[in-house]
Amino acid sequence: MESTTGIQTQTTLRLIYLWAFAEAGLGGLLHLYHIPLTGLIVGGFSIIINVFLAKYSANNYKVLLQATLLVLSVKFMMSSQTPLGGYIAVAFQGLLAAFIFPVFKVNRLSIIIYSIIVMLESSLQKFIMVAVIFGKDFFETILSIISETFRIEKSSIDDVLMSFFLLYIGLYVVWAIGIGLWTRQLLSSVSGIKIHKDLIRKTIDSIEDKKTIQSTRKKRRYLLIFSVFCFLILIVLYITKRAELWQFLRLILVIAFFYILNKFVIKKQISRYTKKNNSVIADIIYSLPGLTLYSKVAWKLASDHSGIKRIKEFVTYVIWLTIFYEKDQNRKILILNGDIQTGKSSALMNWIKNKNAGGIITPTVNGKKQLYNILTNEYQPYELDSAAENSLVVGNYFLDQSAFIETKKIVTDSIKQKKEWIIIDEIGKLELDGKGNHETVQYLLDNFNENLLLVVRTSLVDKVIGKYELENFTIISNEELINQNQNE
């Protein structure tokens, strides 16, 4: 964990989260809102994020390379069936940024050069892959099929296709130059944006929960495979007529090579990196719902505009919300500290009687820790008598791992019910190691706007504050909690 994030500031980490969100979810969100030119927008968005990463990391190539590896890992975790081209595009963007910006710094020329090269790679990738896989005779075969089918001279087809190709490339280049110029402007202007926190809060509250749209990716994949299969049959029928079966054999070998390269080399290496940095990658994935909310807020804030202007405002607001918006401006964070078996949970059970609270408390009942759901007033096992299949060993204790899943659900329900306080009892060594309720705690700190009460034993308070970068908190004892309750 330290090796991955030690040289990163909070701002660069947030930008990495945003890049991962762009790769893992922004495209689908843009489709949801029926925004045109989604491919160009996602590519342009990735360019903007990499430029900001270079700027806020002081052109540190290590941060840019680490960001690339983390985003590749998130892409792998979120969709392990991503084709080779998806990984190549992300790797190309990151590696190019790690080369250009440390050498030439972040300026107008370097940004435009970077934008053009990235968009050219995006536009040409499929053509290059087709040429590598099928060979140059593939294009000749296509031309011959079109010529014989429609009775058109090959030279005429060449001219038309070349015109379309140049128009296609020109569109990407013009888009890249526009993105580059705008990104340079955005770097200097985004920090000066002023949005009243009450407007953001009201916008968040006004966004209704959307039903999850089931992915049609599998259906599309099967349709694509069927289409490719039919197309290959057509090609085989044509080339066998000319006794060129060796071309077909070459095709099979090249496809097999890329399959092995993707599955057993690239994905295997990404999988290793993912396991090594599992905690920080889990943090990124867990932050995606919050970034989805930010994108919806940004789209609403930009509703006064339309077309390209609205898209520009949308991107600007998303970046501003990610980097500069502090969600905990009015939030209280109480850290209830004390040693083991000093009555912290008992004090909490009394404290919540006068509070609109949600979350969990872990009191001792009949000598064993139980998980108490504040919302439903129900208990479930937390500490087990002995090691079991679904247990986690912590010192001399055996904890039920399903309790951590239940905690996440309870916290989610508490947020939906807009509780004023959410309680987590407790944050300990497991969470410091990125296990237990770590993901739930990180999600609360990143996405929850109301008050938190976190239970931490005295010896771990400083470590918890450091790990979660807590600010504007108050440390209280059992006695202070009880007195506070009596005075209200």
CB atoms within 10 A of CB 474: 10
Question: Where among 299, 323, 347 does a domain terminate?
Answer: 323
- Return the residue matching tokens 């945003």: 18
CB atoms within 10 A of CB 25: 16
Q: Please, are residues 470 and 333 in contact by the beta-carbon 8 Å criterion?
A: yes
Q: Per the omega criterion (within 30 degrees of 0), is the bond before 140 cis? A: no
Q: What's the CA gap between 201 and 297, in Å, rounded?
A: 9
Shared-domain flag, residues 58 and 154: yes
Domain span at residue 384 reads 333-487
Taking residues 117-128, report their average pLDDT: 86
What value does the mean pLDDT of the chain take?
A: 77
255 has a pLDDT exceeding 70: no
Radius of gyration in angstroms for the set of CA atoms belonging to the chain, rounded to a whole number:
27
**What CATH code is carried by the domain that includes residue 435?**
3.40.50.300
* Residue 121 within a domain: yes
Predicted pLDDT at 214: 38
Shared-domain flag, residues 211 and 176: yes
Predicted pLDDT at 358: 93
The pLDDT tens digits of the residues spanning 350-389 come to 888 888 899 999 988 888 889 999 999 999 988 887 777 7
Decide: residue 246, CB within 10 A, 0-12 exposed, 13-18 middle, 19+ buried: exposed
Shared-domain flag, residues 369 and 318: no
Shared-domain flag, residues 465 and 423: yes
CB atoms within 10 A of CB 243: 7
Q: What's the CA gap between 333 and 291, in Å, rounded?
A: 22
Per the structure block, which two tokens stand in for 39? 């491919």
Confidence of residue 297 (pLDDT cuts 50, 70, 90): confident
Shared-domain flag, residues 82 and 36: yes
Q: Please, are residues 215 and 151 in contact by the beta-carbon 8 Å criterion?
A: no
Q: What's the CA gap between 310 and 303, in Å, rounded?
A: 7
95 has a pLDDT exceeding 90: yes
Question: Where among 303, 323, 343 does a domain terminate?
Answer: 323
Shared-domain flag, residues 461 and 404: yes
* Residue 440 within a domain: yes
Q: Please, are residues 44 and 175 in contact by the beta-carbon 8 Å criterion?
A: yes
Shared-domain flag, residues 118 and 195: yes
Q: What's the CA gap between 269 and 263, in Å, rounded?
A: 10
Q: Please, are residues 160 and 84 in contact by the beta-carbon 8 Å criterion?
A: no
Shared-domain flag, residues 347 and 412: yes
Kindly give, in sequence order, each residue whose CB lies less than 8 Å from that of residue 145, ignoring residues fewer than 6 positions away.
234, 238
Confidence of residue 394 (pLDDT cuts 50, 70, 90): confident
* Residue 80 within a domain: yes
Shared-domain flag, residues 196 and 67: yes
Shared-domain flag, residues 361 and 237: no
Shared-domain flag, residues 49 and 93: yes
The residue that leads in pLDDT, 235 or 412, is 412
* Residue 254 within a domain: yes
CB atoms within 10 A of CB 350: 13
CB atoms within 10 A of CB 390: 10
Predicted pLDDT at 13: 81
The pLDDT tens digits of the residues spanning 172-191 come to 999 999 999 999 999 988 87
* Residue 328 within a domain: no
Q: Please, are residues 110 and 167 in contact by the beta-carbon 8 Å criterion?
A: no
In the chain, the number of structural domains is 2
What angle (nearest 5°) sits at the alpha carbon of residue 434, between those of residues 431 and 439? 80
Question: 409 — phi, psi (to 5°)?
Answer: -65, -40
121 has a pLDDT exceeding 50: yes
Q: What is the pTM of this model?
A: 0.61
Q: What's the CA gap between 81 and 215, in Å, rounded?
A: 14
Kindly give, in sequence order, each residue whose CB lies less than 8 Å from that of residue 237, ignoring residues fewer than 6 positions away.
none
Predicted pLDDT at 101: 95
Q: What's the CA gap between 64 and 84, in Å, rounded?
A: 21
Kindly give, in sequence order, each residue whose CB lies less than 8 Å from that of residue 238, ignoring residues fewer than 6 positions away.
141, 144, 145
Question: Where among 323, 351, 382 does a domain terminate?
Answer: 323
82 has a pLDDT exceeding 70: no
* Residue 13 within a domain: yes
Instruction: List the end-to-end C-alpha distance of the chain, in Å, as a whole number.
Output: 43
Question: 337 — phi, psi (to 5°)?
Answer: -115, 160
Decide: residue 347, CB within 10 A, 0-12 exposed, 13-18 middle, 19+ buried: buried
Shared-domain flag, residues 471 and 342: yes
* Residue 478 within a domain: yes
The residue that leads in pLDDT, 195 or 185, is 185
